Structure 1
Amino acid sequence: MVDSRKLYIDSMKKKFQEKPEDKKTQFYNYGTWKQSKSKSKFVESSKKISAERGIPGYNPDVGLAQGQRLLMPYQLSHTDYIVDMDDIHFMNNAAMQQLWDDIRRTVIVGMDMAHNILEKRLGKEVTPETINHYMELINHTMPGGAVIQEHMCEVNPELATDCYVKIFTGDDELADQLDNRFLIDINKEFPEDQAQQIKENIGKSTYQVVRVPTLVGRVCDGGTISRWSGMQIGMTMMGAYNMAAGEAATADFSYAAKHASVINMGSFMPARRARANNEPGGIPFGVMADCVQSSRLYPDDPGRHTLEAIAAGAVVYDQIYLGSYMSGGVGFTQYASATYTDNILEDFIYYGIDYIKDKYGDFCAAPTTKDEIEKISTDIGVYCLETYEKYPTVMESHFGGSQRAACISAASGCATAMATGSAQAGSNAWYHSMILHKEEMGRLGFYGYDLQDMCGSSNTFSFRSDEGLPFEMRGPNYPNYAMNVGHMSAYTGIATAPHAARGDAWTLSPIIKVAFADKHLNFDFGHVTDCYGKGCMKEFMPAGERDAIIP
Structure 2
Amino acid sequence: MAGKEKLFMEACKKKFKEEPTDMTTKYYCYGGWKQSKSKVEFQNSAMEIAKKRGIPMMNEDIGVPLGQRSWMPYQLSHTDIFAEADDLHCVNNCAIQQAWDDIRRTILVGLDSPHQTIERRLGKEVTPETINTYLETVNHTMPGGAVVQEHMAEVNPALVWDSYVKVYSGDDELIDEIDPRFVIDINKLFPAEQAEQLKKAIGKTLMQAVRVPTIVGRLMDGATVSRHAAMQISMAFISAYKLAAGEAAIADFAYSAKHQSLAMGTMMPARRARGPNEPGGIPFGYMADIAQSDRVYPDDPGRAALEAVALGAAVFDQVYLGGYMSGGVGFTQYATAAYTDNILEDYVYYAIDQIKSRYGGFCKLDPTNMDELIKLGDDVNAYALEMYERYPAVMETHFGGSQRATVSAAATGIAGAMATGVADCGLNCWYLSMLQHKERTGRLGFYGFDLQDQCGSANSFAYRSDEGLPMEVRGPNYPNYAMNVGHLSGYTGIPKAAHVARGDAFTANPFVRVAFADPALVFDFANVTKEIGRGALREFQPAGERSAVIKG
TM-score range, shorter chain: over 0.9
With over 3 angstroms needed to count, the CA separation of the structure-2 counterparts of 1:342 and 1:506, relative to structure 1, is: same
- Contact 2:285–2:496, Cα closer than 8 Å, also in 1: yes
Name the aligned partner's letter for residue 293 of structure 1.
Q
Deviation at 1:373, TM superposition (A): 2.2
Deviation at 1:248, TM superposition (A): 1.9
Name the aligned partner's letter for residue 278 of structure 2.
E
- Contact 1:2–1:358, Cα closer than 8 Å, also in 2: no
After the TM superposition, which of the residue ranges 265-274 and 119-128 deviates more from structure 2?
119-128
In 1, the alpha carbon distance for the partners of 2:407 and 2:57 equals 36
Instruction: Encode CA deviations 1:41-84: one digit per residue, 9 max, x unaligned.
Output: 10111111111111111101111111111121100000000111
Q: Is residue 366 of structure 1 aligned with residue 359 of structure 2?
A: no
After the TM superposition, which of the residue ranges 423-432 and 463-472 deviates more from structure 2?
463-472
Partner SS state of residue 328, structure 1: coil
Deviation at 1:428, TM superposition (A): 0.4
Deviation at 1:252, TM superposition (A): 2.2
Q: Which residue of 2 aligns with 1:72?
A: 72
Q: How does 1:30-109 map to 2 (within 5 A)?
A: 30-109=30-109
Deviation at 1:158, TM superposition (A): 0.7
Q: Which residue of 2 aligns with 1:463?
A: 463
In 2, the alpha carbon distance for the partners of 1:329 and 1:116 equals 50
After the TM superposition, which of the residue ranges 362-371 and 178-187 deviates more from structure 2?
362-371
In 2, the alpha carbon distance for the partners of 1:56 and 1:2 equals 54
Q: Which residue of 1 aligns with 2:199?
A: 199
Partner SS state of residue 315, structure 1: helix
Instruction: Encode CA deviations 1:386-425: one digit per residue, 9 max, x unaligned.
Output: 1000000000000000000000000000011000000000
How many residues of Structure 1 are paired with residues of Structure 2 in the alignment?
Answer: 550
Q: Which residue of 2 aligns with 1:294?
A: 293
Instruction: Encode CA deviations 1:227-247: one digit per residue, 9 max, x unaligned.
Output: 100111111111111110112
In 2, the alpha carbon distance for the partners of 1:63 and 1:46 equals 16
Q: How does 1:151-300 map to 2 (within 5 A)?
A: 151-258=151-258, 260-300=259-299
Taking only the aligned residue pairs, the percentage that are identical comes to 62
Deviation at 1:327, TM superposition (A): 1.2
With over 3 angstroms needed to count, the CA separation of the structure-2 counterparts of 1:2 and 1:389, relative to structure 1, is: closer
Deviation at 1:263, TM superposition (A): 0.5
Partner SS state of residue 376, structure 2: helix
With over 3 angstroms needed to count, the CA separation of the structure-2 counterparts of 1:418 and 1:2, relative to structure 1, is: farther
Partner SS state of residue 107, structure 2: strand
In 1, the alpha carbon distance for the partners of 2:257 and 2:480 equals 33
Q: Which residue of 2 aligns with 1:395?
A: 395
Q: Is residue 488 of structure 1 aligned with residue 493 of structure 2?
A: no
Name the aligned partner's letter for residue 323 of structure 2.
S
In 1, the alpha carbon distance for the partners of 2:315 and 2:3 equals 34
Relative to the length of structure 1, the TM-score reads 0.99
Q: Which residue of 2 aligns with 1:504?
A: 504
Aligned-residue Cα RMSD (Å) equals 1.0
Q: Is residue 125 of structure 1 aligned with residue 130 of structure 2?
A: no
In 2, the alpha carbon distance for the partners of 1:257 and 1:470 equals 30
- Contact 1:4–1:347, Cα closer than 8 Å, also in 2: no
Partner SS state of residue 210, structure 2: strand
- Contact 2:15–2:71, Cα closer than 8 Å, also in 1: no
- Contact 1:2–1:354, Cα closer than 8 Å, also in 2: no
In 2, the alpha carbon distance for the partners of 1:248 and 1:378 equals 65
Deviation at 1:378, TM superposition (A): 0.7
- Contact 1:5–1:347, Cα closer than 8 Å, also in 2: no
In 2, the alpha carbon distance for the partners of 1:453 and 1:111 equals 43
Q: Which residue of 2 aligns with 1:112?
A: 112
After the TM superposition, which of the residue ranges 367-376 and 102-111 deviates more from structure 2?
367-376
Q: Which residue of 2 aligns with 1:454?
A: 454
- Contact 2:380–2:412, Cα closer than 8 Å, also in 1: yes
- Contact 1:78–1:343, Cα closer than 8 Å, also in 2: yes
Relative to the length of structure 2, the TM-score reads 0.98
In 2, the alpha carbon distance for the partners of 1:424 and 1:148 equals 51
In 2, the alpha carbon distance for the partners of 1:5 and 1:511 equals 40
Instruction: Encode CA deviations 1:424-457: one digit per residue, 9 max, x unaligned.
Output: 0000000011001001100001000111000101
After the TM superposition, which of the residue ranges 242-251 and 262-271 deviates more from structure 2?
242-251
Q: How does 1:399-414 map to 2 (within 5 A)?
A: 399-414=399-414
Q: Which residue of 2 aligns with 1:521?
A: 521
Name the aligned partner's letter for residue 331 of structure 2.
F
In 1, the alpha carbon distance for the partners of 2:5 and 2:302 equals 13
Q: Is residue 337 of structure 1 aligned with residue 355 of structure 2?
A: no
With over 3 angstroms needed to count, the CA separation of the structure-2 counterparts of 1:4 and 1:402, relative to structure 1, is: farther
Partner SS state of residue 318, structure 2: helix
- Contact 1:4–1:351, Cα closer than 8 Å, also in 2: no
- Contact 2:113–2:257, Cα closer than 8 Å, also in 1: no
Partner SS state of residue 166, structure 2: strand
Name the aligned partner's letter for residue 311 of structure 1.
A
In 1, the alpha carbon distance for the partners of 2:84 and 2:395 equals 19
Instruction: Encode CA deviations 1:340-379: one digit per residue, 9 max, x unaligned.
Output: 0000000000000001000000100101132222111111
After the TM superposition, which of the residue ranges 363-372 and 280-289 deviates more from structure 2?
363-372
- Contact 1:111–1:206, Cα closer than 8 Å, also in 2: yes
Name the aligned partner's letter for residue 243 of structure 2.
M
Name the aligned partner's letter for residue 535 of structure 2.
G
Name the aligned partner's letter for residue 338 of structure 1.
A
Give 4+ residue runs of structure 1 displaced > 3 Å after superposition. Answer: 1-5
In 1, the alpha carbon distance for the partners of 2:330 and 2:387 equals 25
Partner SS state of residue 180, structure 2: coil
Deviation at 1:151, TM superposition (A): 3.1
- Contact 1:349–1:411, Cα closer than 8 Å, also in 2: yes
Name the aligned partner's letter for residue 324 of structure 1.
G
Q: Which residue of 1 aligns with 2:315?
A: 316
Deviation at 1:4, TM superposition (A): 5.4
Q: Which residue of 2 aligns with 1:376?
A: 376
- Contact 1:307–1:493, Cα closer than 8 Å, also in 2: yes
Partner SS state of residue 90, structure 1: coil
- Unmatched tracts of structure 2, length 5 or more: none
In 2, the alpha carbon distance for the partners of 1:295 and 1:508 equals 15
Partner SS state of residue 275, structure 1: coil
Partner SS state of residue 329, structure 1: coil
In 2, the alpha carbon distance for the partners of 1:549 and 1:335 equals 37
Instruction: Encode CA deviations 1:119-175: one digit per residue, 9 max, x unaligned.
Output: 122221111110000000000000001111223111011110000000111100001
Instruction: Encode CA deviations 1:181-224: one digit per residue, 9 max, x unaligned.
Output: 01001000000000000011111110011110110011100011
In 2, the alpha carbon distance for the partners of 1:401 and 1:23 equals 18
In 2, the alpha carbon distance for the partners of 1:498 and 1:46 equals 47
Name the aligned partner's letter for residue 479 of structure 1.
P
- Contact 1:77–1:529, Cα closer than 8 Å, also in 2: yes
- Contact 2:323–2:330, Cα closer than 8 Å, also in 1: no
Deviation at 1:331, TM superposition (A): 4.1
Partner SS state of residue 210, structure 1: strand
In 1, the alpha carbon distance for the partners of 2:466 and 2:135 equals 42
Instruction: Encode CA deviations 1:103-127: one digit per residue, 9 max, x unaligned.
Output: 0000000110001111122221111
Q: Which residue of 2 aligns with 1:356?
A: 355
Deviation at 1:484, TM superposition (A): 1.1
In 1, the alpha carbon distance for the partners of 2:260 and 2:3 equals 50
In 1, the alpha carbon distance for the partners of 2:483 and 2:357 equals 37
Q: Which residue of 2 aligns with 1:431?
A: 431
- Unmatched tracts of structure 1, length 5 or more: none
